[in-house]
Structure 1
Amino acid sequence: MLFYSIEGIQASRHTGEVEGEHRWSLPGVRCPLCKSAWSTGAVAYPSVNLTNHPEREKLQEPRLEEDFAEFERLRESVRPLIPGTVLHPGTDFGPFVGTAQGTFGPLVVPSPWVLMMQRGALEQLQAEGLQGLKGCSMDVRFRQKKNPPQLVELELLPLGLLHEDCIPPDQRAPCPRCGRLAFSLPVNPLLQATSLPKDTDLFRLGNFATVIVATQRFVETVRRLWPEEQLEVRELPMR
């Protein structure tokens, strides 16, 4: 099985644009150990509903939290909703909220780390037997009032990893306090074969969350169903 990073839709005939953000998010943080001020800006759990969460008001506005202990408290308050998951500063929750205009194809890539689809397209891919595709409803207002498309956001879990051989030796370990990894995306990314999931065809990298990874099965199915979309991908070798 081959794996690819999704780069976008090349020369799409569709004009669709989506703008907005998720309803809630952990704040960014300034780490007292590595001194970095940062936020992931990529990982989102749109299926996690914080409507009744006691700290929801503190999670509504993206911000930088200078008090690291307060960040840790907020992080632990949402951890029971996503057990076993690493929660970095800036992790988003809840539906994508915003506006949209134009025409949309089956797949929508508003940024390299976000993937949306028309609901019918998601159902087609699921009917084809693709695994682990979870579409979440969006709270998006369309400028066109007549027959607006039904868009869903894919919840992409951080499952696979870049292999340490493509990461500078002095940058492989995360900050022990805040978890930040300081390296840039390698020119020649290499996947750690043992980290790759066997039961999902679409995910993001756990140690470089802006990279969306698709299986060969996903890419081939999309290109067969919608050849006009010209899905842009890059093969990622494994070791």
Structure 2
Amino acid sequence: MRRFFWMEEDRVVAARHGGVVDAWHKLSLPGVRCHTCGATWSDVGYEYPSIDLSQLPERHEFVKARPEPFSEFARLRELVRPLAPPNAELPPGTGFGPLVGRATGDFGPIVWVGGEKLLLRRDVLERLQSEGVRGLLGCPTQLRFRKKDAPELLELQVEPRGRLHPDCIPPEVPPPCATCGRHGFRRPDEPILDAASLPTDLDLFRVGNYASMVICTERFMEAVHRLHLDGITFQELLAR
């Protein structure tokens, strides 16, 4: 039986190292104002640092964060879709390109940004891959360090795959909007993964309908422990 673990930042370890990253993806899809459900929203956890929008003539339309009517949002999403992985959902707020910003202090082998984005040193990424961890894609960042011997930090592109099981979503929550796709619910106190939806080719992914949650397989967790990498807490989740 496969085992899955919810990964979060180990804040005790982060405080001990003392490093801080203040950075963001400068290009993103806008938020949306939906004429069907009435919500104005954008999502978090959807970032594709490997997608380069610099050659798009409409690149400037992805710079400013703002809500747009659904028709305009949909037009911009279709411009990006040919560059995205197959079947990528690309909800409002999806970010693209390198992480840009400042980094100060000292860092361990694994760095979290905002408790959601994962950064690794290049040598750490290579060691995890040598341990057989599957599906890791490290992307260059554009971080400005104050010190000269700054580490090279790569952002992992952790794609949303799999779903939370319907049993852990309150029954009174309305279904996803037929137009914009918004499914508005809080993270369950006891998340359950939908086993049939989980990827079989990746050891690290996000939950497709709650993308701020980063999930790993037992293979990933064991590799982290073997390599004595700190910075992550693991909580096993039920999958059914």
TM-score, length basis structure 1: 0.95
Aligned to 1:149: 151
Q: Deviations over 1:99-122 (max 9, x none)?
A: 101111111112232111111101
Write the distance in 1 (CA, Å) between the matches of 2:89 and 2:231.
34
Write the distance in 2 (CA, Å) between the matches of 1:36 and 1:181.
10
- Of residues 31, 34, 37 in structure 2, which corresponds to 1:31? 34
Matched, 1:136 2:133: no
Matched, 1:80 2:77: no
- Of residues 120, 125, 129 in structure 1, which corresponds to 2:128? 125
Q: Deviations over 1:177-215 (max 9, x none)?
A: 101111111111000111111111100011001000011
Write the distance in 1 (CA, Å) between the matches of 2:173 and 2:115.
23
Q: How does 1:45-64 map to 2 (within 5 A)?
A: 45-64=48-67
- Unaligned runs of 5+ residues in structure 1 are none
Write the distance in 2 (CA, Å) between the matches of 1:55 and 1:171.
37
Aligned to 2:234: 233
Aligned to 1:8: 9
Residue type of the alignment partner of 1:73: R
Aligned to 2:100: 97
Query: Alpha-carbon deviation of 1:68?
Result: 2.1
Contact 1:223 1:231 in 2 (8 A): no
Contact 1:7 1:112 in 2 (8 A): yes
Q: Deviations over 1:113-140 (max 9, x none)?
A: 2111111101100011100010100011
Aligned to 2:211: 209
Aligned to 1:171: 173
Write the distance in 2 (CA, Å) between the matches of 1:230 and 1:18.
14
Instruction: Note closer, same or farther for the CA distance 1:230–1:56 as it changes in structure 2 (3 Å cut).
Output: closer
Aligned to 1:22: 25
Query: Alpha-carbon deviation of 1:230?
Result: 5.5
1:23 match: secondary structure: strand
Contact 1:112 1:211 in 2 (8 A): no
Displaced runs of 4+ in structure 1, greater than 4 A?
Answer: none
Over aligned residue pairs, what C-alpha RMSD do you find?
A: 1.3
Instruction: Note closer, same or farther for the CA distance 1:85–1:231 as it changes in structure 2 (3 Å cut).
Output: closer
Contact 1:45 1:94 in 2 (8 A): yes
Residue type of the alignment partner of 2:23: G
Write the distance in 1 (CA, Å) between the matches of 2:27 and 2:119.
18
Write the distance in 1 (CA, Å) between the matches of 2:38 and 2:45.
21
Write the distance in 2 (CA, Å) between the matches of 1:25 and 1:220.
34
1:158 match: secondary structure: coil
Instruction: Note closer, same or farther for the CA distance 1:60–1:201 as it changes in structure 2 (3 Å cut).
Output: same
Residue type of the alignment partner of 2:36: L
Write the distance in 2 (CA, Å) between the matches of 1:189 and 1:77.
34
Write the distance in 1 (CA, Å) between the matches of 2:116 and 2:177.
23
Instruction: Note closer, same or farther for the CA distance 1:60–1:237 as it changes in structure 2 (3 Å cut).
Output: same
TM-score, length basis structure 2: 0.94
Aligned to 1:221: 223
Write the distance in 1 (CA, Å) between the matches of 2:88 and 2:113.
25
Write the distance in 2 (CA, Å) between the matches of 1:63 and 1:10.
32
- Unaligned runs of 5+ residues in structure 2 are none
